[in-house]
Amino acid sequence: MFDTLDDYHRYADSLEDFVSNNKISEFQQVTSNLYRDILSRAASDFNFLLGRESEIVRLVKAINHDFETKTFAGVIRRIELRLDRSSMPIITQLQNITDFWNAHQYELGEINLFSSDEHNDINKESIKYLKSLATALQSASDLKKLPLEQTFSLKFRIQENDNITDWVENLRAIGSEGTDILVKAIINILLISVFKNRAGQGGDFRIHCMMDEIGRLADENIQGILNFANQRGIYIVNSSPKAHRPLSYRRLYMLSKDNKANTIVQPILSTRQSEML
């Protein structure tokens, strides 16, 4: 604030010292180095996050390969999974900064052996990226952390008989309720199968899984999902209150409660009995 003539003189003296001693260049170097450090940290952290994403990419490829090896014998002819980069503005800006840093990291900051004639222009361009990042951060002010799952979107493409869907993010957009449940069951079985193989457990190593809502599947798909799981050493336990296709299972049990609320397990059908029928 300038109230008197002396205030203006003092300001003029400080400004003359600032210009005559070339402190503008000094401030430019300080800010350029600061921008370089911020860009370096942002690119490094984002690359670390993408490094974890590569593990998910390998998992998706393993799931796709597993389905191709042993397909589902039924209405679901093909299932494909794909990872796409998230469209969140902050993810877009971090990706742009990472690309910019990878291309011009040796040009940023002070002049060095790697500097070119575009050195000043590149340093000025870095400011635009930081401003864009600041804007994206302000629009996502409620985001305190950036979890891995927000850096990508998982998409599905399903072939049901002769109908092939587009790439969709929501399984509800695939078809009927029964188809949605069937596809979810297949994907979960594929996930379990991949992790089972990665654990190095082969041979007679088996996993038993509880499957809910199996009664909503068509009868032919119930047998199909059981065979699909059994091929991978995964055995389904149907927890439905109603028996659907009882002869598809090796054993059937009826669960009830006594007067003391203890669970009573009563076998109804065993493997030997089912083979005799």
- Please give the pLDDT value at position 271: 55
Q: Tell whether 222 and 259 lie within a shared domain.
A: no
Query: 229-238: per-residue pLDDT in tens?
Result: 888 888 888 7
| Counted domains in the chain | 2
Q: Tell whether 187 and 233 lie within a shared domain.
A: yes
In angstroms, the CA 82 to CA 175 distance is: 19
Which class for 38: exposed (0-12), middle (13-18), buried (19 or more C-beta within 10 A)? middle
Query: Is 160 within a domain?
Result: no
Mean pLDDT throughout 188-204? 79
Number of other residues whose CB lies within 10 A of the CB of residue 106 = 13
Query: 7-63: per-residue pLDDT in tens?
Result: 888 888 888 877 777 777 777 667 767 888 888 898 998 888 888 888 888 889 999
Q: What angle do CA 219, 227, 75 make, to 5 degrees?
A: 55
Q: Are 86 and 153 in contact (CB under 8 A)?
A: yes
Tokens 């809910």 belong to residue:
212
Query: 132-160: per-residue pLDDT in tens?
Result: 888 888 888 787 887 778 888 888 888 88
Query: Is 215 within a domain?
Result: yes
Q: Tell whether 229 and 182 lie within a shared domain.
A: yes
Q: Are 236 and 226 in contact (CB under 8 A)?
A: yes
In angstroms, the CA 243 to CA 253 distance is: 10
Residue 236 phi/psi, 5-degree rounding, is: -90, 135
Query: Is 196 within a domain?
Result: yes
Q: What is the mean pLDDT of the chain?
A: 80
- Please give the pLDDT value at position 274: 46
**What is the DSSP secondary structure assignment for residue 90, as one 8-state letter?**
H
Mean pLDDT throughout 206-217? 78
Which long-range contacts link 242-250 to residues 24+ away (Cβ below 8 Å)? 242/215, 244/214, 244/215, 244/217, 244/219, 245/219, 247/274, 247/277, 248/222, 248/223, 249/274, 250/274
In angstroms, the CA 31 to CA 70 distance is: 59
Q: Tell whether 216 and 258 lie within a shared domain.
A: no
What type of residue is 20?
Answer: S
pLDDT at 228 over 70: yes
Query: Is 200 within a domain?
Result: yes
Expressed as residue numbers, the domain containing 213 is 176-244
Q: Tell whether 225 and 271 lie within a shared domain.
A: no
Query: 70-110: per-residue pLDDT in tens?
Result: 888 777 888 899 988 888 888 889 999 999 888 887 777 66
Please give the sequence-ordered ranges of beta strands (E in DSSP) within 113-233, or none if there are none.
152-160, 163-164, 207-211
In angstroms, the CA 218 to CA 224 distance is: 10
Query: Is 266 within a domain?
Result: yes
Query: 119-134: per-residue pLDDT in tens?
Result: 677 777 888 888 888 8
- Please give the pLDDT value at position 206: 80
Query: Is 93 within a domain?
Result: no
* Secondary structure (DSSP) of 114-143: T--TTHHHHHHHHHHHHHHHHHHHHHTTT-
Please give the model's pTM, rounded to 2 decimal places. 0.65
Query: Is 191 within a domain?
Result: yes
Number of other residues whose CB lies within 10 A of the CB of residue 45 = 13
Query: Is 29 within a domain?
Result: no
- Please give the pLDDT value at position 203: 62
